[in-house]
């Protein structure tokens, strides 16, 4: 990969509302799934790092909702920080935009209905019309862990394609603990949407809620990895 590669952004979205659920999963499970991708899940003290992001924004006058499920990854064993993100699955509330993502950017998008609430107690609700479902609900109003500007900037690897794009995502972030056994986390896969099976099989354990009420998302076009060597 070209060092310090800074591709131009082709899209930038302001005023993104976002609820994220950060947690850990079985490292060996995700090592096996990523073996054919020539990537390694980031080893966070023996666990993989999973991030589920529900967003709400306006694109060209159209209200849009998305659910994005990703995994922190490394290109080389032994890296002490994750160097990129692997986009496992994404859903868009617009069938047209989901198709455009697949056709023009080779991203793993499908249609799905997502709702989220940035107020406390926060929540995420998703269904795809084919039986898949995800629901995460904060039971009470816990004490805030921290509040600070956060930024994710770097490569986003795409499944089964050897393609990659670059993103800059961030904003003021409030973090709250997940109350294990009290907060609700439910998921159900369908024959078309297997990602929730993978989360269950890898024993996904959420640890932290993160809320951004005014984030900015920017992205590049999609590149073939071979073109960047």
Q: What is the DSSP string of 25-65?
A: EEHHHHHHHHGGGT-EE--SSSEEEEEEEEEEEEETTEEEE
Rounded to an integer, what is the distance from CA 21 to the centroid of its chain?
9
Calpha distance 29→190 (Å, rounded): 20
Calpha distance 181→75 (Å, rounded): 35
**Greatest distance between any 2 Cα atoms in the chain:** 49
Q: What is the mean pLDDT of residues 128-135?
A: 92
Q: Is residue 3 very low, low, confident or very high in pLDDT (cuts 50, 70, 90)?
A: very low
Q: What is the mean pLDDT of residues 118-137?
A: 95
Please report the pLDDT score of residue 1 as a whole number.
Answer: 38
Could you say which DSSP state residue 8 is in?
P
Average pLDDT over all residues of the chain: 93
Residue with tokens 């490569």: 155
**Choices 3.40.190.10, 2.40.400.10, 2.60.120.10, 1.10.260.40: CATH for 14-219:** 2.40.400.10
Q: Is residue 228 very low, low, confident or very high in pLDDT (cuts 50, 70, 90)?
A: low
Q: Is the pLDDT of residue 51 over 80?
A: yes
Domain ranges across the chain: 14-219
Tens digit of pLDDT for each residue in 76-114?
777 778 889 999 999 999 999 999 999 999 999 999 999
């Amino acid at each position: 990969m070209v060092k310090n590669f800074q591709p131009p952004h082709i899209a930038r979205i302001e005023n993104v509302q976002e609820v994220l659920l950060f947690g850990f999963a079985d490292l060996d499970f995700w090592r096996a799934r990523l073996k054919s991708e020539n990537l390694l899940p980031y080893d966070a003290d023996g666990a993989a790092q999973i991030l589920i992001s529900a967003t709400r924004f306006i694109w060209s006058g159209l209200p849009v909702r998305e659910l994005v499920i990703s995994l922190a990854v490394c290109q080389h064993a032994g890296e002490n920080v994750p160097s990129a993100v692997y986009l496992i699955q994404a859903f868009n509330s617009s069938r047209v935009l989901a198709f455009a993502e697949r056709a023009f950017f080779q991203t793993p998008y499908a249609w799905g209905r997502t709702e989220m609430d940035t107020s406390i107690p926060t929540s995420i609700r998703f269904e795809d019309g084919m039986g898949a479902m995800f629901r995460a609900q904060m039971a009470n109003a816990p004490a805030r862990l921290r509040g600070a500007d956060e930024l994710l900037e770097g490569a986003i690897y795409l499944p089964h394609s050897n393609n990659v794009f670059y993103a800059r995502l961030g904003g003021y972030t409030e973090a709250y603990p997940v109350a294990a056994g009290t907060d609700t986390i439910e998921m159900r896969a369908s024959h078309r949407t297997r990602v929730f099976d993978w989360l269950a099989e890898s024993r996904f354990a959420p640890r932290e809620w993160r809320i951004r009420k005014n984030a900015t998302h920017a992205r590049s076009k999609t590149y073939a990895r071979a073109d960047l060597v």
